[in-house]
Amino acid sequence: MKVSGLRLRGILDSRARVTVEVDLTLGSGHQGTGSAPRAIAPGRLERSRGPEPVLGTFSAPALQAALTGSAVADQADYDGRLAGLYQAGEAGADVTLAASLAFARAAAAACGVPLYAYFAGLAGSIPAVPALMVNVFSGGIHLPPPARGFQQVMVLPATGGLRSDIEVAGAVFSAAERLAAQRFPAVGLSASSGLVVPAGSEEQLGLANDAAAAAGHASVCTFGVDVAAEHLAQTPGRYRFGTGELSCQDFAGVLARLAASYGLSYLEDPFDPAEASAWRGLRAVLPRSTRIVGDDLFATDESRIDQSLADGVLLKLSQAGTVTATLAAAAAARAAGMVLAVSHRSGETEDTAMCDLAVAVGAELIKVGGPRRGDRLAKYNQLLRLDESLHSAPSRPT
Ligand code: PGA
Ligand code: ZN
């Protein structure tokens, strides 16, 4: 294989900030496009973005020279070159991810397989459709100051099928919108299409519970929270919560009480990554049914993954910077017996590769934001298509 053409352009993400899109052409004529999401709240352990690109086409001669022309063995080979450019400071993680995804799409086209099957071939995994975590309320530093509430409160419908889960989540979201409109003078929508209201963490959870009941779906819903605690830790070991500040131990007690009272089946980033002992101790005080998942903790880095800290790993392509590095993190998590959850970023594009990735590795969970606006709906719709592909295997001749 040879990459014969590479074009970079700046496009808008869901916050109308500029991010990178790459078009790539193989010598065979097969083409692929990929783009990188950006984040409001990147963790301090994750790879850095490059300088903000400009809108429209831009040229990066050094990149183009390094990434085109010579023979490429496979995805790992190309991603290795991208990682080298990142290490050398010549490309940010946004450029490397956009190029890596563009290469993957072109290579999948050259092999004549859909993207999810191409990823599954690289990973050696069995595809499966993940369960949804649907953002209902956004808070924390995803809001303008003063930050209030958890960064994300999500509903996890479990009806036994993707289509009915999407329907239930849509009904709960709409009910939450109505309840919020009755209680607050204005209801906004965050960059990840979660509802924005001036509510504290427990009030967000209460509203989400009430919404599930009002929609008539309480019996098939549990809830999930992204605490994003790294952004709540003012001083080491102390977490801003409500109007006060709590020690690690007291914060663990609050999270355990909320998990039990509000049926939390998912808890992401309950502590700062530096507080390993707090992470290790949380399991003992949480209900068994609450999965503890690390996002900023592991930063989708295979070398950080440690099953003594959490039950699961959040996979973000843009944290890893390439397809190969993301699959390596997924493999490390599986080798450690951990659950996989694939995640969007707050500043998303219409790119749906994260859905193909989640299905390819058979992730247990996926979060793509609230069911509003095109960048999010593109992902729900791609999951519907992938679900259909997996369930429409050709019937055996009789
Ligand atoms: P971020 O958060 O994209 O702002 O880092 C998104 C998430 O963790 O769901
Ligand atoms: Zn997170």
- What are the tens digits of pLDDT across the range 29-40? 999 999 999 998
End-to-end Cα distance, the chain: 40
Is the CB of residue 297 below 6 angstroms from any atom belonging to ligand 1?
no
Whether residue 49 has its Cβ less than 6 Å from ligand 1: no
Residue 84 CB contacts under 8 Å (≥ 6 apart), including other chains:
none
Ligand 1 contact, 332 CB (< 6 A):
no
State how far the Cα of 326 lies from the Cα of 343, in Å rounded to an integer: 12
- Mean local confidence (pLDDT), 111-131: 98
Burial 90-100 (b: 16+ CB within 10 A, else e): bbbbbbbbbbb
Distance 190 CA to ligand 2 centre (A): 15
Distance 379 CA to ligand 1 centre (A): 16
Spatial distance between the Cα atoms of 385 and 317, rounded to a whole number of angstroms: 21
Q: CA–CA distance from 58 to each of 11, 22, 124, 225 (Å)?
A: 11, 10, 36, 39
Residue entry with tokens 């300088």: 51
User: What is the three-state SS of 29-42?
Assistant: CCEEEEECCECCCC
- Per-residue pLDDT band for 394 (boundaries 50, 70, 90) equals low
Is 70 exceeded by the pLDDT of residue 396? no
> Hey, which of 342, 344, 345 would you mutate to test ligand 1's pocket, going by the most ligand atoms within 8 Å of its Cβ?
345
Q: Does the beta carbon of 226 sit less than 6 angstroms from any atom of ligand 1? A: yes
Flag whether pLDDT at 88 surpasses 70.
yes
Q: Which tokens sit at 226?
A: 């992204």
Q: Ligand 2: distance of its center to the CA of 271 in Å?
A: 11
**CA–CA gap between residue 101 and residue 75 (Å, rounded):** 10
Q: What percentage of the chain exceeds 90 in pLDDT?
A: 90
Residue-wise pLDDT tens digits, 272-322: 999 999 999 999 999 999 999 999 999 999 999 999 999 999 999 999 999
Q: Which residues of 161-174 are buried (b: 16+ CB within 10 A; e: fewer)?
A: ebeebbebbbbbbe
Q: Is the CB of 39 under 6 A from ligand 1?
A: yes
Q: Hey, how many other C-beta atoms are within 10 angstroms of the C-beta on 373?
A: 15
Of 199, 214, 239, 212, the closest CA to residue 154 belongs to 212
pLDDT at residue 254 is higher than 90: yes
Residue of 13, 49, 151 to mutate, ligand 1, most atoms within 8 A of C-beta: 151
pTM exceeding the 0.85 threshold for the entire prediction:
yes
What mean pLDDT is predicted for residues 102-125? 98
- The answer, yes or no, to whether residue 140 has pLDDT greater than 60, is yes
**Rounded mean pLDDT, 198-209:** 97
Indicate the average pLDDT of the chain. 95
Supply the pLDDT for residue 398. Answer: 44
Give every strand in the sheet of 18-26, ordered side by side. 31-35, 18-26, 3-12, 56-58
Judge if the beta carbon of residue 21 lies within 6 A of ligand 1. Answer: no
pLDDT by residue (tens digit) across 37-60?
A: 999 878 999 999 888 899 999 999
CB of residue 295 inside a 6 A radius of ligand 1: yes
Q: Is the pLDDT of residue 226 over 70?
A: yes
Residue 80 to residue 293: CA distance in whole angstroms: 28
* pLDDT top residue among 50 and 380: 380
How far does the centroid of ligand 1 lie from the alpha carbon of residue 372, in Å? 17
* DSSP 8-state symbol, 142: T
- The atom number, within ligand 1, closest to the CA of 37 reads 3
**How high is the pLDDT of residue 90?**
92
Residue 107: pLDDT above 70? yes
What residues have CB less than 8 Å from 314, skipping those under 6 apart?
Answer: 268, 293, 294, 295, 298, 300, 341, 342, 343
Type of residue at 189: L
Q: Which amino acid is at 351?
A: D
Q: For residue 139, how many C-alpha atoms fall within 13 Å in the half-sphere facing its CB?
A: 25
* Measured distance CA(286)–CA(179) in Å, rounded: 29
Q: Say if residue 10's pLDDT is above 80.
A: yes
What mean pLDDT is predicted for residues 178-195? 97
Give me ligand 1 centre to Cα 143, in Å: 12
pLDDT band of residue 148 (cuts 50, 70, 90) is: confident
Segment 202-218 shows an average pLDDT of 98
By most ligand atoms within 8 Å of CB, the mutation choice from 13, 346, 365, 375 for ligand 1 is: 346
With a 6 Å cutoff on the Cβ, whether 152 touches ligand 1 is yes
Task: Name residues whose C-beta falls within 8 Å of residue 208's C-beta, 6 or more positions apart in sequence.
Answer: 136, 137, 153, 155, 172, 176, 223, 262
pLDDT at site 243: 85
Return the SS3 of 152. strand
Q: Is there an atom of ligand 1 within 6 Å of 275 CB?
A: no
